[in-house]
């Protein structure tokens, strides 16, 4: 059985499938980021420029980390250090280089968007990119398989002898699962806020990351505490990377494999620490929102005292009351109709 092709020719030009996969993954990340920002109510036109810088930083950092972890493989042919079209990019190296660049550009281009909220918004984007990138990247590159296997699901990869574990496919399934968990986490967070339930069919992310309403004067915590979604992503993805490397990709005395496992453990611990710091603020925020929602509900049923409404007959009050009661949710002015429960007023 022949391995998956890693290159093809268009006339005299050699095209590498790995490069096409990376390009499609970056395009998906760009469009998905723009969509989440736009739907949440933030400016999004600056994202393309940010992504160009992030892509360059991610590729350089990912390649540098891979080369450092595999120096022995490049002793005989140093020119291969720049041959990124054959694969060999470290996810952690890309993150280390790309995150600072993304933060700097975001602070300059979109200062109204808190960085902590931007991390939460980007967590599903990154995991979604990894899910797609595993299939379109390592699955189509040289030596992209895992340990040798005789199982029926084993596959053949270029420059690897025999059937190999299709680790990129395993990782893609894992990343898709993490992606779904993050989206469910966003829905759960929206459900904690009574004032943002019933969003009229809007996606949870659109409601969750929208800027605070102009009428929201709660100076202590008008917006939900950030960090829950990115913390969840750090824990789940860190576990995934550690397990993948430990079970399917590790080799004895291989520095790169040990570094990936240590990085995975570190990411899990950092994510747990972040989530631990979010418990108390999230609880206080939810209680404040519940109290605020109860206060609004009390305004809807409390009897108004506007004497002008007493001049309205009982039939008119009964008709107008429900309409005004619903409008009180968005207006501090008292409505009409509910005061007639004690009997009709005497016309003046």
The residue ranking higher by pLDDT, 319 or 8, is: 8
3-state secondary structure of 235: helix
Contact 18, 141 (CB under 8 A): yes
Res 315: pLDDT: 42
Q: Measuring CA to CA, how many Å separate 102 from each of 54, 59, 97?
A: 6, 14, 9
Binned at pLDDT 50, 70 and 90, residue 183 comes out as very high
Average pLDDT over residues 155-163: 90
Res 84: pLDDT: 79
C-alpha span between 58 and 94 (Å, rounded): 4
Res 301: pLDDT: 53
Res 332: pLDDT: 44
Residue 346 has pLDDT above 60, yes or no: no
8-12, 29-33, 54-58, 203-207: range with lowest mean pLDDT? 203-207
DSSP H or E stretch at residue 322: helix 314-327
C-alpha span between 311 and 252 (Å, rounded): 89
46-50, 51-55, 256-260: range with lowest mean pLDDT? 256-260
Res 328: pLDDT: 37
The residue ranking higher by pLDDT, 292 or 285, is: 285
Residue 330 has pLDDT above 50, yes or no: no
Residue 195 has pLDDT above 90, yes or no: no
Contact 44, 38 (CB under 8 A): yes
Res 148: pLDDT: 93
Residue 212 has pLDDT above 50, yes or no: yes
Half-sphere exposure of 275 (CA within 13 A, CB side): 16
Average pLDDT over residues 93-114: 93
Res 71: pLDDT: 80
Going by the DSSP 8-state scheme, the letter that residue 249 receives in this structure is I
* Residue 92, token pair as written in the block: 């952690």
Residue 198 has pLDDT above 70, yes or no: no
Res 293: pLDDT: 58
Q: What share of the chain is helix, strand, coil (3-state, %, to 5)?
A: 65, 5, 30
Binned at pLDDT 50, 70 and 90, residue 300 comes out as low
Give the bridge partners for 192, in sequence order. Answer: none
Helix 91-109 vs helix 255-301: crossing angle, to nearest 10: 40
Res 128: pLDDT: 96
> Among residues 152, 57, 38, which one has the least CA distance to residue 98?
57
Average pLDDT over residues 42-63: 93
φ, ψ (nearest 5 deg) of residue 157: -125, 150
Res 331: pLDDT: 42
Other C-beta atoms closer than 10 Å to the C-beta of 31 total 13
Average pLDDT over residues 30-51: 94
DSSP H or E stretch at residue 40: helix 17-40
Res 347: pLDDT: 45
C-alpha span between 271 and 119 (Å, rounded): 13
Residue 311 has pLDDT above 60, yes or no: no
pTM, 2 dp: 0.77
Residue 184 has pLDDT above 70, yes or no: yes
30-44, 49-63, 334-348: range with lowest mean pLDDT? 334-348
Residue 217 has pLDDT above 80, yes or no: no
| pLDDT tens-digit map of 2-14 | 777 888 888 888 8
81-90, 124-133, 151-160, 289-298: range with lowest mean pLDDT? 289-298
C-alpha span between 15 and 211 (Å, rounded): 44
Mean of the per-residue pLDDT values for the chain? 80
How far does the chain reach from its first CA to its final CA, in angstroms? 97
Give the bridge partners for 15, in sequence order. Answer: 8
Give the bridge partners for 164, in sequence order. Answer: 148, 155
């Amino acid at each position: 059985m022949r391995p998956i092709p890693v290159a093809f020719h268009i006339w005299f030009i050699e095209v590498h499938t790995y490069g096409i996969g990376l390009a499609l993954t970056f395009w998906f990340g760009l469009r998905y980021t723009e969509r989440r920002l736009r739907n949440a109510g933030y400016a999004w036109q600056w994202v393309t420029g940010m992504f160009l810088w992030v892509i360059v930083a991610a590729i350089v950092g990912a390649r540098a980390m891979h080369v450092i972890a595999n120096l022995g493989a490049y002793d005989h042919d140093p020119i291969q250090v720049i041959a990124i079209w054959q694969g060999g990019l470290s996810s952690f190296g890309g993150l280390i280089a790309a995150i600072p660049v993304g933060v700097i550009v975001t602070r300059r281009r979109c200062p109204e968007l808190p960085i902590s909220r931007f991390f939460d918004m980007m967590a599903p984007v990154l995991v979604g990119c990894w899910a797609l990138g595993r299939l379109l990247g390592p699955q189509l590159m040289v030596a992209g398989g895992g340990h040798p296997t005789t199982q029926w699901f084993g596959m053949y990869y270029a420059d690897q002898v025999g059937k190999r574990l299709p680790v990129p496919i395993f990782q893609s399934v894992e990343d898709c699962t993490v992606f779904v968990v993050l989206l469910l986490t966003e829905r759960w967070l929206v459900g904690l806020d009574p004032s943002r339930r019933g969003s009229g069919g809007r996606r949870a992310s659109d409601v969750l990351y929208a800027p605070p309403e102009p009428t929201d004067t709660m100076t202590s915590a008008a917006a939900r505490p950030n960090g829950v979604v990115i913390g969840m992503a750090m824990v789940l993805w860190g576990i995934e990377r550690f397990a993948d490397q430990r079970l399917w990709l590790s080799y004895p005395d291989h520095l790169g494999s040990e570094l990936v496992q240590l990085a995975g453990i570190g990411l899990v611990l950092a994510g747990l620490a972040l989530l631990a710091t979010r418990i108390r603020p999230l609880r206080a925020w939810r209680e404040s929102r519940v109290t605020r929602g109860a206060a609004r509900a009390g305004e809807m049923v409390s009897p108004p005292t506007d004497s002008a409404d007493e001049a309205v007959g009982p039939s008119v009050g009964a008709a107008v009351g429900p309409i005004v009661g619903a409008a009180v949710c968005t207006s501090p002015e008292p409505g009409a109709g509910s005061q007639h429960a004690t009997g009709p007023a005497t016309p003046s």
